[in-house]
Amino acid sequence: MGTYRQTVVDLDASADEAAAWGLHGRNWLETQGFVRPVPWQDGIVRLAGPRWREAVDLVPWDRRARIRESEEEPGDEVRVITGRTVFVAGPGDPPAAICPGCRTPDPAWPHSAIDTWYTTGAADLGCRACARLSPLPDWEWTDDYFAFAHLGFQFDDWPPLHPRFTAALGQALGHRIRVLTGKI
């Protein structure tokens, strides 16, 4: 079966700022009513809040959820992920890296750059088409497969997040974001 995962990745929060920006984003999600804190075991989890429907596109989701009066809500918590992370959409074919300068896709798998970024938090990747050297986090990937960052907001088994919602979250953070979606 698997889990349908969507992660809104903050591309600009540094390693030192990630926890503070994560708290800021989580507080925004709560004050806007998209999530609500719920006591669970020895802590708190964030589940769908009263305005969760405004954050998603219900049309392609479960048939029951299209009924406006339905009480059905996403079943999993929203997690704030902090720390150096290689965010991955899910299993699939290896993606091509897309140069931030010339927008040329390069199907060569940059193993060493990914390993270096994961180990040190900094790595550059050179474009074979335009010879531009750019930080790995600035590169895009076909199918939004990867993001290299220190902060992400992970929504598991939610309906597809609406672009208006993800743009509003990015605006609340004041940072560039990338949305990764996939089944894990």
Coil, helix or strand for 46? strand
* 91 has pLDDT over 60: yes
Q: How confident is the model at residue 64 (pLDDT cuts 50, 70, 90)?
A: very low
Neighbours of 85 (CB within 10 A): 17
Pick from 85, 142, 78: which is nearest to 114 by CA? 85
Beta bridge partners of 106: 97
- 111-147 pLDDT, tens digit per residue, is 899 999 999 999 999 999 999 999 999 999 988 888 9
The residue-averaged pLDDT of 47-65 equals 77
Beta bridge partners of 133: 126
CA separation for the pair 79, 175 (Å, rounded): 19
Whole-prediction pTM: 0.89
Q: How confident is the model at residue 93 (pLDDT cuts 50, 70, 90)?
A: confident
CA separation for the pair 39, 173 (Å, rounded): 26
Give CA separation, 36 vs 44, 76, 77, 99, 157, in Å: 10, 12, 10, 39, 16
Coil, helix or strand for 33? coil
